[in-house]
Amino acid sequence: MKAPYSPPFAATLPEVLTTDEAAAALNRKPQTLRKWACLENGPIRPVRINGRLAWRVAELQALLDGGAA
């Protein structure tokens, strides 16, 4: 029995982006996203991975499509 095809890890899209990457995608400064995280008042909220902020790609895409996730 053959296992189903799975693309190489590098070929798959990430589930989260760094603050710098997310800021570039949203055309905002990284500090704006850090402020959203600190004050918990932005249109999206990050997840924390080992104490660092990570921004969900699905939520970024929903925001870019015209609404909050």
Q: Residues 10-28: pLDDT tens digits?
A: 567 689 999 999 999 999 9
Retrieve residue 64's tokens.
Answer: 């870019």
Which residue, chain included where needed, has tokens 């918990």? 40
For residues 11 and 54, the answer to whether their CB atoms sit within 8 Å is: no
CA angle, 35 then 36 then 41, to 5°: 125
Residue 41: what pLDDT?
95
Would you place residue 68 in the very low, low, confident or very high pLDDT band (cuts 50, 70, 90)? low
